[in-house]
Structures are given as C-alpha cells and as structure tokens.
Amino acid sequence: MRESRFSEAQMVKILREADKAPVAEVSNKHGVSEQTIYIWRERFGAINAYEVTRLRQLEAEDLHRMVTGSCKTKLCRKLLHTPWSLVARRTTSAPQTFE
C-alpha cells in the first residue's frame, strides 16, 4: 500500500479547514482532490488531530499487551525487546544452512 503524503493529524487539520471554507478552495490549497477530502471525512469524521494521535498510541499499547501476554518463552520476550532493524540485519547478513 502506498504511503500518504500527509500524516493522519495533517489530514484531520485539512478536514477542519474544509469545515470552515469551501472544499474546492481547500483542496486546491493543499494539492489534493475534492474526492480525497470527502474520503478523509468518511474515515475521520469529527475527531481532531490530537484524538487521532492518541488513538494510534492506544492501539499500539493494546497490540503490545496482546503480544507480550501471549509470549511465554524467554526467547520470545527477548525478540520483542530487540530493535527490528537488528533482527533484519542478522537474518539477511548470513545465509542460513539447514541440515
């Protein structure tokens, strides 16, 4: 999936602008189509930028709790607290041989 030019908080700020000014004017100002603004309106509704950020934090915390709760072994817990860039580097640097 393609990454957006705008963060979710920026999308919500643009939506709040579109609530006060005509959608065509706001879309031209920010370089997006009118349809994009309507899609964002469906997605975010009437929440503000802070609420979007807080929602993402809560989702990340919930996911972390779910994963750590199901992780019972010592190796599993160690992998959870290892930065993923290090894990990827370890697995791609040396070819694995299976016997």
Q: Each residue's pLDDT tens digit in the chain (99 positions)?
A: 667 788 888 888 898 899 899 999 999 999 999 999 999 888 877 777 677 777 777 777 777 777 667 666 766 666 666 665 555 555 454 555 555
The pLDDT value given to residue 65: 72
Structural domain of 10: 1-56
Is residue 95 one of the residues assigned to a domain? Answer: no
Is residue 62 one of the residues assigned to a domain? Answer: no
Is residue 40 one of the residues assigned to a domain? Answer: yes
Is residue 86 one of the residues assigned to a domain? Answer: no
Is residue 20 one of the residues assigned to a domain? Answer: yes
Q: Which of these, 51, 1, 47, 6, lies nearest to 30 by C-alpha position?
A: 6
Tell me phi and psi for residue 15, to 5 degrees: -60, -45
Cβ–Cβ < 8 Å for 78, 63: no
- pTM value? 0.52
The pLDDT value given to residue 55: 75
Angle 71-77-79 (CA atoms, 0-180°, nearest 5)? Answer: 115
The pLDDT value given to residue 86: 54
The pLDDT value given to residue 58: 76
Tell me phi and psi for residue 10, to 5 degrees: -65, -40
Is residue 66 one of the residues assigned to a domain? Answer: no
Number of domains in the chain: 1
